[in-house]
Amino acid sequence: MFNQSDKYVSALGIVLSQELIVLLINYKGGQIMITKNIKGKKGLSYCRVSSQEQKDGTSLNEQEIICVNFAKKYNINIKKIYKEEASAMKPEKRPMFNEMVKKLQNEEADVVIFAYIDRMARNSVDGYKILQLVEEKELTAVFVQENLVLQAPIRAHEMLMLDTILGVSNYRVRQDKEKCMAGIKARALSGFRPCRPPYGYKNMGLKDKKQAFVSKKRADFVKKAFELYSTGDYSVTEVADKLYEQGFRYELQPSKVIPKQSLISMLKNRFYVGMYYVKQADEYVKANHEAIISEETFDKVQKLLELAPKTPRKHNLLYSKLLTCSNCGHCMVGDVKEKPNGKKYVYYRCTNPQCEEHLSLSETTIDNDLAAYLKEIHLGLIPDEIVEEVQKEELQKLIQEVSTLKRNISRKHHSELRFQEKIAKNDIIDEKYIQSGFAEIQEKYGDLDSKIYLAQKQIDMIKSKTDEAFKKRLYDVYNGFDIQTKRKTLELVTSTFKCTPKRLKMTFKSAFRKIRKR
């Protein structure tokens, strides 16, 4: 009588009490017991599947029928039926469930109906959201197939039953995942790589017993790539060009030329010598497929790759790692395009493969938009106390240097007095020794008056340039900066610096926003 319930109980190690036995009898075939009237109330319904097995067994439509039939029986007015295909193990990836919870929090419904408890959740995070609404908002939660209705206050045996089913549900999902991973690991360690093989091979055989077999045409491509690079006469880029020149076509690219990174990955892949890495075991295993490359050739290629000079950064672009995509928030990457006439253009584009916009903006457009923003900042509007504070910080090193030089005047004077006292006390008359002692003091401190004069002139010049600059717009001084100073300026004044489909969007930091308002 209690086969299914016994499975839940034994999985968690719970001993059946008399109260739980009564509960399980109701669960197995009793009628739903409703303590508060829900007839004519407003309701929402939620249906969920996360795998093909669930689609075949308890599809969204089947769950909907169960919920709708219950609603008709009790004359509940279902305002909306939420459906989604999502794993209940990841609360953050259930938009429909989260939308429904918001509606319930706003008290837009009195009843929420689920066909099964595990369609609501398989984790305590989402389950608690519904329980909290039952307790705090007087929501009625109905689980039709389990014959369970939750209403405030939730009774102890109801909570126990819910926790048991949710816990076992969570346990079964994790156990299935562990079994699946164990199966993948076991197959991988047996010599059959459980994923698509690299270029040069094709998977053949039954669904669960596929094996990698050599594809002659592609294997010849791989062999030639290793052969060319192992000579040490060509760089990776030159090997790619040489392959194309010799009639080898890389079928996965429209241009039929293998990309540099794809070629590097190919040259580093041990699969071609009959081995592969098993991540779950953190080791390389001997595979059952035929090797294309000898271990001697592979090792030689690896040494050449290690010795190959690293490609230096080709371009020092102004907005690299400063500009972000307004759609996904990723950094925009700069790219230099050269026209047939030799003229170069810089573009910044979003490289996030999941970004729907794939934004791209020319550097010229960004420069023009940025200029418009910077023209709005008049440096003269910056409060004097801020200017003085920044200027003091910038001049701190020079001011400290002048102070040290002035103290050295006193130190030099006392050094000379001590040397004179030494001469007098020891009745020294050797002119060469006396001249050498004073020269040593002079060499130690140098011409202090000249050093102080030059440092002070430098301070005055910086102050003068600062006063002159603060009569201008930020745009006017920005154009005279080198790239690094421009980047520092943008980091200093910018709160958001984003690329939108048509233009640049820039928001200043709070201090500069106030200046713009003036």
As a whole number of angstroms, the distance between CA 147 and CA 390 comes to 71
From the list 239, 172, 180, 247, the residue with the least C-alpha distance to 10 is 172
How far, in whole angstroms, is CA 517 from its chain's centroid?
Answer: 35
Tokens 């398989």 correspond to 122
Whether the pLDDT of residue 22 is over 60: the answer is no
Contact in structure between 157 and 20 (CB atoms under 8 Å): yes
The pLDDT-based confidence of 50 (bands split at 50, 70, 90) is confident
The pLDDT-based confidence of 32 (bands split at 50, 70, 90) is low
Contact in structure between 44 and 79 (CB atoms under 8 Å): yes
- The structure tokens listed for 171 are 């346990």
Mean pLDDT of the chain: 81
Show Cβ contacts of residue 232 under 8 Å, excluding neighbours closer than 6 positions: 304
Which residue type, as a one-letter code, is found at position 304? L
Q: Identify the pLDDT of residue 15.
A: 37
As a whole number of angstroms, the distance between CA 14 and CA 252 comes to 57
Q: Identify the pLDDT of residue 170.
A: 72
Contact in structure between 185 and 278 (CB atoms under 8 Å): yes
As a whole number of angstroms, the distance between CA 476 and CA 25 comes to 83
pTM score of the predicted model: 0.39
The pLDDT-based confidence of 8 (bands split at 50, 70, 90) is very low
Q: What is the pLDDT of residues 223-272, one digit of tens each?
A: 999 999 999 888 888 899 999 999 999 988 888 899 988 999 999 988 89
Q: Cα dihedral sign for 428, 431, 433, 435?
A: positive
As a whole number of angstroms, the distance between CA 449 and CA 437 comes to 21
As a whole number of angstroms, the distance between CA 172 and CA 317 comes to 53
Q: Which of 130-134, 212-216, 348-352 tops mean pLDDT?
A: 130-134
DSSP annotation of 91: G
How far, in whole angstroms, is CA 426 from its chain's centroid?
Answer: 76
Contact in structure between 4 and 117 (CB atoms under 8 Å): no
As a whole number of angstroms, the distance between CA 86 and CA 323 comes to 34
Tokens 């090997």 correspond to 239
Q: What is the pLDDT of residues 443-478, one digit of tens each?
A: 888 888 888 998 888 888 888 877 776 777 888 888
Question: Around 135, how many Cα atoms within 13 Å sit in the side-chain half-sphere?
Answer: 10
From the list 389, 391, 393, 374, the residue with the least C-alpha distance to 477 is 374
How far, in whole angstroms, is CA 240 from its chain's centroid?
Answer: 32
CATH 3.90.1750.20 residue window(s) in the chain = 201-307
Q: Taking residues 482-508, what's their average pLDDT?
A: 87
Architecture of the domain spanning 3-176: 3-Layer(aba) Sandwich (3.40)
As a whole number of angstroms, the distance between CA 90 and CA 58 comes to 20
| Segment among 65-74, 100-109, 138-147, 185-194 with least mean pLDDT | 185-194
Contact in structure between 508 and 516 (CB atoms under 8 Å): yes
Overall residue count recorded for the chain in this entry: 518
Q: Identify the pLDDT of residue 206.
A: 57
Q: Which of 69-78, 166-175, 272-281, 457-466 tops mean pLDDT?
A: 69-78
Q: Taking residues 121-137, what's their average pLDDT?
A: 85
Percent of all residues in the chain with a pLDDT value above 70, rounded to a whole number: 81
Q: What is the pLDDT of residues 349-385, one digit of tens each?
A: 887 777 877 788 889 999 999 988 888 887 776 667 7
More confident of the two residues 12 and 44: 44
Whether the pLDDT of residue 5 is over 60: the answer is no
Which residue type, as a one-letter code, is found at position 326? S
From the list 239, 221, 211, 240, the residue with the least C-alpha distance to 292 is 221
Whether the pLDDT of residue 1 is over 60: the answer is no
CATH 3.40.50.1390 residue window(s) in the chain = 3-176
Q: Angle CA(469)–CA(474)–CA(475) in degrees, nearest 5?
A: 115
Q: Identify the pLDDT of residue 125.
A: 76
Q: Identify the pLDDT of residue 54.
A: 61
* CATH superfamily of domain region 201-307: Putative Large Serine Recombinase; Chain B, Domain 2 (3.90.1750.20)
Contact in structure between 498 and 504 (CB atoms under 8 Å): yes
Tokens 């050739």 correspond to 297
- The structure tokens listed for 62 are 């089947």
DSSP annotation of 328: T
Other Cβ atoms within 10 Å of 292 Cβ, number: 23
Tokens 């005047």 correspond to 409
Q: What is the pLDDT of residues 389-427, one digit of tens each?
A: 767 777 888 888 889 989 999 998 999 899 899 889 888
More confident of the two residues 463 and 67: 67
From the list 320, 332, 317, the residue with the least C-alpha distance to 499 is 332
3-state secondary structure of 385: helix
Other Cβ atoms within 10 Å of 73 Cβ, number: 11
Contact in structure between 134 and 151 (CB atoms under 8 Å): yes
Main-chain dihedrals φ then ψ at residue 143, nearest 5 degrees:
-120, 100
3-state secondary structure of 106: coil
Q: Which of 179-183, 468-472, 491-495 tops mean pLDDT?
A: 491-495
